[in-house]
């Protein structure tokens, strides 16, 4: 088996206003960086309504559909905008994670990277925000639990911004462990260490300027042991690369090599507990050069471990 790369051209039809950091060029940078890798390339389907409803109420789904413009932009808040292609892109993004879960749990691939946009980890149960519309990784996790019958799924988020949406969607579900490292203070202002859900949330806020040594230390000392103790049957990664030192939206100082290292360590835990089953989905990363290089380092490890 190999590593699956799941994407869709529709994700480039989510067009944000000029100057917006969550731009079409982000996905192109990632896909270009992965060109030539021996990956199984798969088309992301539209997510099924049943899968959306595991994370969001019908009222939220209806509101997003109703907000979709036929031309120009519609702004849901100061950061989150819809163009005529946004709804389909968002449905592909969530559907891509579900397809990845199906492939990994169905032994069609050892692991998978879902290269899609818009991202998802800021989307709360009934609120689109922070460039996000649906909780992509949570939709995948709930699909693994409800459709495939798993008992324990771990979500690990190393995006520089706290995944407030992911936390909102899972903090009452003990079947899902959510671990997040993130810069604090920073948007969206959540993710304090005392936010623990039903003892299924581990937040590790990090100060501005945090670099490789401190990041690796908290991963080794806090995050990886917590995942190990949880003994997940599937590991899902919210792969945001905006903690890179070159990223314009934050102030952490990780290097490209750090993303390869953390991927190795998460794959080690997955190898111990769930036969290496890892699904990773793109979240943030706004310096195009750093984004492409970091995503390539991440996927290179997945590909090597997926052979």
Specify the pLDDT at position 307: 87
* 122 a catalytic residue: yes
Give the C-alpha separation, 129 to 196, whole Å: 22
Specify the pLDDT at position 137: 99
Average pLDDT, the chain: 98
DSSP labels, 183-234: ESS-TT----TT--TTTTEEEEEE-TT-BHHHHHHHIIIIIHHHHHHH--S-
pLDDT at 64 over 90: yes
Query: Which residues, at least 6 apart from 117, have a Cβ–Cβ distance to it below 8 Å?
Result: 11, 14, 22, 26, 27, 89, 93, 282
Pair of tokens at residue 82? 């819809």
Specify the pLDDT at position 276: 97
Cβ count within 10 A of residue 218: 15
pLDDT at 157 over 90: yes
CA-nearest of 219, 160, 154 to 184 is: 160
Give the C-alpha separation, 121 to 238, whole Å: 7
Specify the pLDDT at position 209: 98
The bridge status of strand 74-75 relative to strand 81-82 is: antiparallel
For residue 153, what is the enclosing H or E element? strand 153-157
Specify the pLDDT at position 73: 96
DSSP labels, 81-129: EE-TTHHHHHHHHHHHHHHHHHHHHTTS-SEEEE--SS--TT-BTTB-B
Angle (CA) 207 159 4, round 5°: 155
Give the C-alpha separation, 6 to 173, whole Å: 27
Sign of CA dihedral 151, 178, 253, 249: positive
Give the C-alpha separation, 304 to 126, whole Å: 39
Tokens 């980890």 locate to 121
Specify the pLDDT at position 18: 97
Question: In the structure, what pLDDT confidence band is assigned to residue 165 with cuts at 50, 70 and 90?
Answer: very high
- Each residue of 201-255: pLDDT tens digit? 999 999 999 999 999 999 999 999 999 999 999 999 999 999 999 999 999 999 9
First to last CA, the chain: 6
Angle (CA) 159 122 287, round 5°: 40
Specify the pLDDT at position 98: 99
Give the C-alpha separation, 129 to 64, whole Å: 11
247-269: buried (b, 16+ CB within 10 Å) or exposed (e) per residue?
bebbebbbbbebbbbbbebbbeb
Residues linked to residue 235 through DSSP beta bridges, in sequence order: 154, 278
Phi, then psi, of 129 in degrees rounded to 5: -165, 165
Angle (CA) 144 43 100, round 5°: 20
Specify the pLDDT at position 240: 98
Residues linked to residue 306 through DSSP beta bridges, in sequence order: none
Tell me which of 8, 56, 81, 122 is the catalytic residue: 122
CA-nearest of 291, 297, 298, 231 to 30 is: 291
- Each residue of 92-138: pLDDT tens digit? 999 999 999 999 999 999 999 999 999 999 999 999 999 999 999 99
pLDDT at 1 over 90: no
Specify the pLDDT at position 16: 98
Residues linked to residue 203 through DSSP beta bridges, in sequence order: 180
pLDDT at 291 over 80: yes
């Amino acid at each position: 088996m190999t590593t699956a790369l799941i994407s869709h051209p529709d994700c480039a039809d989510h067009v944000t206003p000029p100057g917006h950091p969550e731009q079409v060029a982000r996905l192109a940078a990632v896909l270009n960086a992965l060109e030539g890798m021996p990956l199984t390339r798969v088309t992301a389907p539209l997510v099924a309504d049943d899968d959306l409803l595991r994370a969001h109420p019908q009222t939220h789904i209806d509101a997003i559909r109703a907000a979709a413009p036929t031309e120009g932009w519609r702004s849901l808040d100061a950061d989150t905008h819809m163009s005529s292609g946004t709804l389909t892109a968002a449905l592909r993004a969530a559907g891509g994670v579900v397809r990845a879960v199906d492939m990994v749990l169905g032994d069609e691939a050892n692991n998978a990277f879902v290269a899609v946009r818009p991202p998802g980890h800021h989307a709360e149960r009934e609120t689109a925000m922070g460039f996000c519309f649906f909780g992509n990784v949570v939709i995948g996790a709930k699909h693994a639990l409800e459709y495939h019958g798993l008992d324990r799924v771990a979500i690990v988020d190393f995006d520089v911004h706290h995944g407030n949406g992911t936390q909102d969607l899972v903090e009452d579900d003990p079947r899902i462990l959510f671990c997040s490292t993130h810069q604090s203070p920073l948007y969206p202002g959540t993710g304090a260490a005392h936010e623990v859900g039903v003892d299924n949330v581990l937040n590790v806020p990090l100060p501005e300027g945090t670099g490789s040594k401190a990041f690796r230390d908290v991963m080794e000392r806090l995050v990886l042991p917590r995942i190990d103790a949880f003994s997940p049957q599937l590991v899902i990664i919210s792969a945001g690369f905006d903690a890179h030192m070159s990223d314009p939206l934050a102030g952490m100082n990780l290097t490209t090599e750090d993303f390869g290292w953390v991927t190795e360590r998460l794959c080690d835990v997955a190898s111990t507990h769930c036969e290496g089953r890892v699904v990773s989905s793109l979240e943030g990363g706004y310096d195009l050069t750093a984004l492409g290089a970091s995503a390539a380092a991440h996927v290179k490890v997945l590909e090597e471990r997926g052979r």
